[in-house]
Structure 1
């Protein structure tokens, strides 16, 4: 009886270990498109799947559960938005969800409740006329995917000039960039602005202080959900390349501190832009010269 008991116990243990291993493998395979996690040096993300030699990719975001990945890619000289999903225990091929022969779609970002996918586009307000300046738009999640007709984010956000790249605090305040205060849409003096979301409407936006903004180009801003730091792209003299990533932390009294260049670990002689930090706080994504990169978020902590 004792030997039989030991045999049964051994079999049960083997089965339990196998089940546990399979669960672990399933969990591992569902993370970050099966990519090996980076450490303190940025690496190209998902080469040959997302970051491809013959395409220009940028502006990426994962959903909070890590099972949806959105990014922009230039195809046939027109930016479009694609999505890769984890379904049936595997990652799908990239699927284009927003594209046009006439208009551009890029800079995707999910709302805090993930019921909306925001993006920028130069589409006309009715979606039929000639392209205009870039505004911030969104589509809404449905039971079958996403709504077909984009909705303009409204006058609290958009101006007669250009609005670029948005991100959100957990309360729904939108941070974005705009050259709305300039004399022409072609003016490069973009500034970082923010707009609280109150009773379903974005309020009139406000410009951040000179701790963040300057007389140069500041855009592509990522704000942390708790609004304790923000990362943005700037084209300033004295940087490593044409466009560098900068970071500003909020002080204990609630003011944004003087923004600093993120240094040579992140910035190169190339162009770095489109920052994003995953919801689990583990990884920092950004774009560089037509590819998407990722690195451990410890590079942010090192700058505090």
Structure 2
């Protein structure tokens, strides 16, 4: 009888722990199904704010996103601390410069983002580059570091994501002339010998003469989701997906369909590390949906 009571007590303790962990997941929000729903209304997705570009840490205890305050984008973070979620706190913000598109490095020791800040952080704003800050024992480092010439050009670089090996995927309009400045293309850069190597563009199956940006690459580098502005789309901007073939080539990207895309603007995709949910932004709010929508598109190749 004593053994039975002990076992039952352990089961109840474990059950309570799992229940608490489930309750704490994703800012205590009820999970979505196969139809996208607004994420964390009245907490993150506020009626009077413009939110976009979100990412969770791999353990689900940190949530980073961008929000426009007084016409300047800034990066905020909500953390799970002392068994509760904190109020949003600003990680990077300025009255002079813009900070947005946050994304964690694979080891989560760096927080990457884009900014039009001057190189010295004091002069006039410039084109958008990719930057990062480093995790310290007491928080994030105060002075951003430029990701370097392998990534950044004299024009704009937007929204990055990473493979497990540390390869960065991002978009840029570097190399375009004045008449095609909106022709952003998706590029990738391997990380080797302590720095990012010169980037390379993806093939025409992904890049076109139109706008392609805001790319999320799966950690195993088997598919990528990105925002594109194409004439055949559902709206101003749609999410597209490209899978790798068995021989390692990127296949022609396909529109993710009317379940995801509307006549609004869909952008900034991100998949959670547990593989359960796809997050994306739509006209200034953050949405999430089950990743079963991706499985269906893969099966339809």
State the TM-score bracket (shorter-chain normalisation).
over 0.9
**2:19 corresponding residue in structure 1:** 25
Pick the aligned partner of 1:36 from 22, 30, 34. Answer: 30
- The aligned residue for residue 185 of structure 2 is 191
> Structure 2: 5+ residue runs without aligned partners?
none
Which residue number corresponds to residue 159 of structure 1? 153
- Give me the whole-angstrom Cα distance separating, in 2, the residues matched to 1:225 and 1:140: 21
Q: Provide the residue aligned with 1:142 in structure 2.
A: 136
Q: Is the 8 A contact 1:167 1:175 kept in 2?
A: yes
Partner Cα distance (1:241, 1:92) in 2 = 36
Match of 1:172 in 2: 166
Alpha-carbon separation, structure 2, partners of 1:265 and 1:132: 38
Q: Aligned with 2:297: secondary structure?
A: coil
| Equivalent residue for 1:272, pick from 255, 266, 289 | 266
Query: How many matched pairs?
Result: 298
Q: Work out whether residues 161 and 185 of structure 1, in 8 Å CA contact, stay in contact via their aligned partners in 2.
A: no
Aligned partners of 1:175, 1:9: CA distance in 2, in Å?
A: 55
Aligned with 1:92 (options 77, 86, 95) = 86
Give the equivalent residue in structure 2 for 1:69. Answer: 63
Aligned: 1:239 with 2:255: no
| CA offsets 1:92-125 (integer angstroms, 9 cap, x no match) | 1111010000000000000011000000000000
Residue 13 of structure 1 and its aligned partner are, at CA, apart by: 5.9
Distance 2:127 2:168 in 1: 19
Q: What residue in structure 1 maps to residue 296 of structure 2?
A: 302
**Aligned 1:115-126 pairs, distance under 5 A:** 115-126=109-120
Query: Does structure 1 residue 129 correspond to structure 2 residue 123?
Result: yes
Give the structure 1 partner of residue 279 of structure 2: 285
Once the two structures are superposed, the pairs formed by residues 213-228 of structure 1 within 5 Å of their partners are 213-228=207-222
How large is the RMSD of aligned CA atoms in angstroms? 1.4
Secondary structure class of the residue paired with 1:171: coil
Please list every run of 5 or more consecutive structure 1 residues that lacks an aligned counterpart in the other structure: none
Structure of higher CA gyration radius? 1
Rounded to whole Å, the distance in 2 between the matches of 1:214 and 1:198 is 28
Pair 1:261-2:255 in alignment: yes
